[in-house]
Amino acid sequence: MKLKSRIYNGTLYVLLCGELDEHSASYVREEMDKAFGSGIFKQIIIDLSELEFMDSTGIGVLIGRYKKMKDRSIPIYICNPSSHAEKIFKMTGLYELMPKIV
Amino acid sequence: MKTNNFMEVKFKAESVNESFARICVASFCLPLNPTLDEINDIKTAVSEAVTNCVVHAYPKGEGDVVVRVELDANEVVISVSDKGIGIKDFKKAREPFYTTKADEERSGMGFAVMESFMDKVELQKNGDKGLVVVLRKRLKRSALTKQSC
């Protein structure tokens, strides 16, 4: 699992690469919090185009990040989910918290 | 039920083995000619069941997980077993968003995901100790392939 991030035009872009499960969750949590805690940005876009697998542990990680950013009034958006990730997001209601953008 | 084929693997209840469990089960199901969606559903359900063993079954030490897969004509039956502390209230455990570890950012959606992605999910006591999660899924293309032959 790898995570890449960059800030461009007031947006923090986070790219998740690999498999997000119980084994990688703590790494993703730490790296996301590092990225979320550095620089100035008004919104966050999480790019899932290179995410190969995710289960409900990933949902827990994302909801945890949402709660932290909600306190700072910074919205988080999801882009490029696989059809599989989309299925999990729809059934768990994650898009209610982190809308999908094209 | 007549079983055409089966396999069983046993491994330590460690998160590093989750990926192995997913790939192992998915590979074994390939002769049934599943679609990519079906394989992803199975991998996710297995991951949820194994995660439960890793996170909840053995709070005071180490333990094992046994994954058994049975293939019938067009049905996959997966049993994920542990010899851990078990679950006292099956009904409560299956409720969406229910988690005993809310402070660890758990979604509490594990069983809900299993139920959504598989046809049937059963929880059973594993003898005098532990839990067995039985996941069943009937594969659509496999049935069509069989009929057309």
- Residue A35 has which token pair? 């990225």
In chain A, which residues have their Cβ closer than 8 Å to the Cβ of B22?
53
Residue A102 lies in a domain: no
CA-CA distance, B83 to B68, in Å (whole number)? 15
Kind and range of the H or E run holding A49: strand A43-54
In chain B, which residues have their Cβ closer than 8 Å to the Cβ of A91?
109, 112-113, 116
Catalytic annotation present for B52:
yes
8 A C-beta contact, residue A99 and residue A77: yes
**pLDDT tens, residue by residue, A1-29:** 999 999 999 999 999 999 999 999 999 99
pLDDT of residue B148: 45
* Closest-CA residue to B5 (of B81, B68, B67, B47): B68
CA-CA distance, A81 to A101, in Å (whole number)? 10
Is B51 within 8 Å of A88 when comparing Cβ atoms?
no
Min Cα distance B105 → chain A (Å) is 5
ipTM: 0.93
Cα-based distances in Å from B23 to A28, A53, A68, B67: 21, 11, 33, 12
pLDDT of residue B108: 86
**Residue A70, helix vs strand vs coil:** helix
pLDDT of residue B89: 83
Question: Which domain covers residue A67, as residue numbers?
Answer: 2-97
* Closest-CA residue to A16 (of A49, A57, A58): A49
Residue A58 lies in a domain: yes
CB atoms within 10 A of CB A95: 14
pLDDT of residue B73: 82
Instruction: Using the structure block, give the residue that is written with the tokens 């079954």.
Output: B57
pLDDT of residue B149: 42
Residue A70 lies in a domain: yes
CATH number at residue A90: 3.30.750.24
Identify the closest residue of chain A to B17 by CA–CA distance: A23
Question: Which domain covers residue B98, as residue numbers?
Answer: 5-148
> How many domains does chain B divide into?
1
pLDDT of residue B92: 82
CB-based contact, B109 to chain A, within 8 Å: yes
> How many domains does chain A divide into?
1
**pLDDT tens, residue by residue, A23-67:** 999 999 999 999 999 989 999 999 999 999 999 999 999 999 999
Instruction: Using the structure block, give the residue that is written with the tokens 């990926």.
Output: B19
Reduced 3-state DSSP string for B2-70 = CCCEEEEEEEECCHHHHHHHHHHHHHHHHHHCCCHHHHHHHHHHHHHHHHHHHHHHCCCCCCEEEEEEE
In chain A, which residues have their Cβ closer than 8 Å to the Cβ of B48?
55-56
Catalytic annotation present for B5:
no
What does DSSP say about strands B120-125 and B131-138: parallel, antiparallel, or unpaired?
A: antiparallel
Residue A101 has pLDDT above 90, yes or no: yes
Residue A83 has pLDDT above 90, yes or no: yes
CATH number at residue B22: 3.30.565.10
Residue A86 lies in a domain: yes
Q: In terms of pTM, does the model score above 0.90?
A: yes
B89 backbone dihedrals φ, ψ, rounded to 5°:
-120, 95
* Closest-CA residue to A15 (of A80, A65, A63): A80
Is B55 within 8 Å of A21 when comparing Cβ atoms?
no
CB atoms within 10 A of CB A100: 15
* Closest-CA residue to B93 (of B108, B78, B113): B108
- Given a cut of 70, the residues of chain B with pLDDT beneath it are 1-3, 102, 142-149
CB-based contact, A51 to chain B, within 8 Å: no
